[in-house]
Amino acid sequence: MSSFEFNKIFAAVLVAGIVAMLGGFVAELLMHPHELEKNAVEIDGGPVASGGGAAEAMPEPILSLIADADIAKGEKLSKACAACHSFESGGPAKVGPNLYGVVGRAKGSKAGFEYSAGMKAVGGSWTYADLNKFLWKPKKFVADTKMNYIGLKKPEDRAAMIAWLRTLGSSAALPTQGQIDAEMAELATPEAEEPASEGAPSEEAPSAH
Ligand code: HEC
């Protein structure tokens, strides 16, 4: 073998090696993309109570919407509840309790209906703020609730529903500016940590007069 031929062969082997190396390098890039250095979605705050990312942790505030809410729309939306609830005065319990006068009523208090242990334990009466939380995600407000309903996602829908419920024999006054501000302060920043009092009975029951 002349040294010239040897050089040709050597060069060919070298090129093949380089090609193989480059191929391996490219393959490596394709197969093992760099690990994320940190989670793309950061879960904010301390211990997360139950499921759901931070952005999902709290409903939008709605108290400021109630005075001008679309009551007719609330009545329409109540069709989704009617399989389980009656709304007329003295109406029967179905899968769920009768809801006539529920705004301002003590939670879990309708005689003749067997509530979940969780609902009986919540305490306090149905304020606008608590109805907003419950109707947003029932199971988030009362973990073991018997109400198998996914919830009303849109804030306008919850406001319309609650405004309509208020027309059913409730003597609850419209939300005061103080209540509106308090709800805003609690719920306005969904990224914030969940307040320790989440789910706890709230003080500001709608005053009856
Ligand atoms: C699949 C049946 C079902 C549907 C649909 C449903 N609910 Fe309920 N609801 C229940 C049950 C059962 C309870 C009792 C919950 C418990 O004891 O934990 C309840 C409880 C409630 C309470 C608390 C009542 C009280 O006396 O404390 C309110 C308010 C309420 N539902 C509103 C609604 C509204 C508004 C809708 C429609 C948007 C709706 N529910 C849809 C079954 C249902």
Q: Whose CA is nearest to atom 33 of ligand 1?
A: 81
C-alpha to C-alpha distance for 49 and 67, rounded to whole angstroms: 32
Per residue in 164-207, pLDDT (tens digit) is 999 999 999 999 999 999 999 999 765 545 555 555 555 555 65
**Structural contact between residues 165 and 131, judged by C-beta atoms closer than 8 angstroms:** yes
Given a contact cutoff of 8 angstroms between Cβ atoms, the answer to whether 169 and 101 are in contact is yes
For residue 148, the ligand 1 atom closest to its alpha carbon is 1
Pocket of ligand 1 (CB under 6 A): 80-81, 83-85, 95-97, 99, 102, 107-108, 110, 115-116, 118-119, 135, 142, 145-149, 152, 161
Query: Pick from 171, 160, 169: which is nearest to 207 by CA?
Result: 171
82 C-alpha vs ligand 1 centroid, how far in Å? 10
48-85: pLDDT as tens digits:
444 444 456 899 999 999 999 999 999 999 999 999 99
Taking alpha carbons only, the member of 93, 92, 110, 113 closest to residue 101 is 110
> d(Cα 138, Cα 115) in Å, to the nearest integer?
14
CA 69 to ligand 1 centroid distance, Å? 21
Q: What's the pLDDT band for 46 if we cut at 50, 70, 90? A: very low
Residue 87 in tokens: 């709304």
Query: How confident is the model at residue 49, as a pLDDT?
Result: 45
Q: How far is the C-alpha of 190 from the C-alpha of 20, rounded, in Å?
A: 52
Burial 73-85 (b: 16+ CB within 10 A, else e): bbbebbeebeebb
What pLDDT score was predicted for residue 7? 73
